[in-house]
């Protein structure tokens, strides 16, 4: 496959991201971060992060700062919230391409960027935007710039690299420093480049990082005293390993292993196969092959943070996505001699490329047939475009200079683009019809309900999407408000209606909603026959005496 065709395929893969930028934010995390950003934009207080008028310490501020600035200029909205993270994703893809090109060649760099841009994880966390989207982009940018500096000694690369480290830390915490250090440090250790590791100039880099972090630390100190910086530097990250942080979900040490298999699709099996083939080569040559390798940035950047994150007592799938740019680089580098040297690939590697394109095609068919049947002409058009994209890509492949393994890479990329285009343009819009708080927030305006008379029920639903789309922070009502029949509007469950009825407090139901949290998909929801039992029912009501 020529460089021009690789570049074209990357551009096509990026087009599939665009519909997702307009899809509603999802409860809980993305909607909460969007709501915090809107609150920050309204208050104008950027140093102190607040949530519903109270201190918020759980995440660093960079995502909130960027989104709040966008809201200041353009007003709250889905695209406005997601655009900064998408732009950092583009920066990350370009950085991955340039880093891989440095150690291999231009075509291998384009393959690495294609692998990452078509991975399921990258599509997912540019739709459901959290802090990890910024983290991954800035980490690979920092590694690229610092790797350049280690060879050319240019001050611009030095400053850009450590600025990337600071931005990564302001996105997610110390992992923004640890991941680049593991990637580059492991690379230099395996290459026996001890002088690189102990260069005094790195201390000046850390000093520059500290200077850039000062505004964040100032805000943390003003809100929490020394507990704020301590929480950021130690407790939130390392405390999950030592047990000092109370968050724990007993996910197990191998949790991220199965997460990698589905979230790095369609490339995960190929990456694992390439890893084992490289390890086998090292054992067979009694590790003498280490001296033949050109780079270990990808191997160390993938496996060392992966292992460190696996020790955490609290894990969520997106925590490990920061390793995926290095996995893409490792796979692209492993494929280089096979694709450009006419070497026959091992059977396991070849087979690993064939499974996921078929699975993705079946999923693309299953979504409109079994999960959300098309309604209206627009849905049918989108499905037709998706089918034409996959079929057209397959036919176009036959005319390219693709043979053997190359054609399976092309097929896998086209299958990933087709599936994720359909997910962003069809599946998620249909799924988010069940995010009742967001739907109700828009209905309140249509029904001319005064938002200042709205109160959240004490036990109702996630409120973050509601507050983001209503652009208002509403307080909760108390159970005593039922007893004296205070006049409120609320979004509540059936149990609240029963409480109102038992207390003799009249109410009017304006609308009824099917409610389901979109980030916790289960088979009973995806199955149309059992979906009614999987969803909750929420009621938009007015109760009390005027």
Query: Could you report the per-residue pLDDT of 85-127, keeping only the tens digit for each?
Result: 999 999 999 999 999 999 999 999 999 999 999 999 999 999 9
Cα(522)–Cα(510) distance, rounded to whole angstroms?
Answer: 29
Structure-token match 């207080």, residue found: 45
pLDDT at 65: 96
Neighbours of 278 (CB within 10 A): 15
Q: Which of residues 504 and 87 earns the better pLDDT score?
A: 87
348 and 395 share a domain?
Answer: no
List strands edge to edge, sheet with 488-492: 488-492, 536-543, 507-515
- At 332-364, the pLDDT tens digits run 998 888 877 666 666 666 677 777 887 887 787
Neighbours of 289 (CB within 10 A): 13
Name beta bridge partners: 269: none
291 and 321 share a domain?
Answer: yes
Residue at a domain's end among 302, 322, 352: 352
Supply the DSSP symbol for 407. H
142 and 273 share a domain?
Answer: yes
Q: Which domain holds residue 374?
A: 355-433
Cα atoms in the Cβ-side hemisphere of radius 13 Å centred on 197: 14
420 and 305 share a domain?
Answer: no
311 and 412 share a domain?
Answer: no
Q: Mean pLDDT, to the nearest integer, of 10-33?
A: 92
Contact 229, 216 (CB under 8 A): no
300 and 396 share a domain?
Answer: no
pLDDT band at 482 (very low <50, low <70, confident <90, very high): confident
Contacts of 33 (CB under 8 A, 6+ apart): 59, 63, 64, 67, 129, 130, 131
132 and 277 share a domain?
Answer: yes
Average pLDDT for the chain: 86
Share of the chain above pLDDT 90, in %: 48
Q: How many domains does the chain divide into? A: 3
31 and 45 share a domain?
Answer: yes
Given a cut of 60, whether residue 326 has pLDDT beyond it is yes
Coil, helix or strand at residue 225: coil
Share of the chain above pLDDT 70, in %: 88
Given a cut of 60, whether residue 45 has pLDDT beyond it is yes
Given a cut of 80, whether residue 8 has pLDDT beyond it is yes
458 and 368 share a domain?
Answer: no
Q: Mean pLDDT, to the nearest integer, of 119-138?
A: 94
Q: Which of residues 339 and 529 earns the better pLDDT score?
A: 529
Q: Mean pLDDT, to the nearest integer, of 491-513?
A: 87
Residue at a domain's end among 329, 352, 375: 352
pLDDT band at 469 (very low <50, low <70, confident <90, very high): very high
162 and 13 share a domain?
Answer: yes
Which helix (H) or strand (E) segment holds residue 538: the answer is strand 536-543
Cα(152)–Cα(184) distance, rounded to whole angstroms?
Answer: 15
pLDDT at 402: 47
Selection from 217, 188, 77, 67 nearest residue 134 by Cα: 67
Coil, helix or strand at residue 456: strand
* pTM given for the model: 0.91
- At 198-226, the pLDDT tens digits run 999 999 999 999 999 999 999 989 988 88
Structure tokens at 434: 């069940």
Residue at a domain's end among 416, 433, 450: 433
339 and 456 share a domain?
Answer: no
| Top-confidence range, 241-255, 341-355, 360-374, 487-501 | 487-501
Structure tokens at 358: 């078929």
Cα(173)–Cα(381) distance, rounded to whole angstroms?
Answer: 43
Cα(326)–Cα(300) distance, rounded to whole angstroms?
Answer: 8
285 and 411 share a domain?
Answer: no
């Amino acid at each position: 496959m020529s460089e021009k065709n690789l570049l074209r395929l990357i551009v096509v893969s990026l087009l599939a991201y665009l519909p997702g930028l307009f899809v509603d934010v999802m409860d809980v995390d993305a909607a909460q971060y969007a709501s915090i950003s809107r609150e920050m934009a309204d208050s104008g207080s950027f140093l102190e992060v607040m949530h519903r008028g109270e201190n918020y310490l759980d995440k660093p501020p960079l995502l909130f700062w960027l989104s709040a600035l966008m809201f200041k200029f353009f007003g709250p909205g889905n695209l406005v919230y997601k655009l900064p993270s998408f732009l950092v994703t583009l920066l990350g893809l370009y950085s991955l391409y340039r880093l891989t090109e440095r150690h291999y060649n231009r075509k291998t760099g384009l393959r690495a960027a294609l692998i990452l841009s078509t991975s399921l994880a990258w599509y997912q966390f540019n739709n459901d935007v959290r802090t990890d989207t910024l983290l991954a982009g800035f980490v690979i940018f920092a590694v690229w710039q610092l790797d350049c500096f280690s060879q050319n000694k240019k001050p611009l690369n030095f400053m850009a690299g450590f600025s990337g480290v600071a931005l990564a830390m302001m996105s997610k915490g110390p992992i923004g420093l640890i991941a680049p250090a593991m990637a580059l440090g492991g690379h230099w250790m395996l290459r026996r480049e001890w002088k690189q590791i102990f260069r005094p100039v790195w201390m000046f880099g850390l000093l520059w990082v500290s200077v850039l972090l000062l505004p964040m630390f100032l805000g943390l100190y003003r809100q929490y005293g020394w507990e704020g910086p301590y929480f950021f530097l130690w407790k939130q990250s390392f405390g999950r390993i030592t047990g000092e942080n109370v968050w724990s979900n007993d996910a197990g040490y191998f949790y991220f292993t199965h997460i990698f298999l589905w979230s790095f699709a369609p490339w995960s099996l190929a990456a694992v196969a390439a890893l084992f083939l490289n390890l086998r080569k090292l054992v067979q040559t009694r590790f003498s092959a280490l001296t033949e390798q050109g780079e270990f940035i990808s191997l160390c950047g993938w496996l060392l943070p992966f292992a460190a994150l696996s020790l955490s007592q609290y894990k969520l799938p997106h925590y490990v996505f920061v390793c995926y740019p290095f996995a893409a680089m490792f796979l692209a580098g492993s494929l280089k001699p096979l694709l450009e040297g006419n070497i026959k690939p091992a059977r396991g590697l070849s087979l690993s490329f064939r499974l996921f394109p078929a699975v993705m095609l079946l999923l693309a068919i299953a979504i409109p047939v079994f999960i959300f049947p098309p309604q209206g002409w627009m849905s049918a058009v989108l499905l037709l475009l998706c089918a034409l994209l996959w079929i057209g890509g397959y036919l176009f492949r036959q005319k390219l200079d693709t043979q053997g393994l190359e054609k399976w890479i092309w097929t896998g990329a086209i299958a990933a683009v087709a599936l994720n285009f359909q997910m962003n343009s069809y599946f998620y819009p249909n799924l988010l019809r069940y995010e009742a708080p967001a739907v109700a927030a828009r209905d309140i305006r249509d029904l001319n309900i005064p938002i200042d008379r709205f109160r959240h029920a004490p036990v109702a639903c996630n409120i973050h999407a509601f507050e983001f789309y209503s652009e208002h922070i509403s307080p909760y009502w108390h159970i005593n408000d039922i007893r004296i029949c205070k006049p409120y509007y609320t979004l509540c469950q059936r149990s609240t209606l029963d409480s109102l009825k038992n207390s003799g407090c009249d109410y009017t139901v304006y609308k009824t909603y099917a409610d389901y949290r979109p980030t916790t998909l289960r088979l009973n929801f995806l199955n149309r026959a059992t979906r009614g039992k999987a969803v909750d029912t929420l009621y938009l009501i007015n109760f009390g005496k005027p």
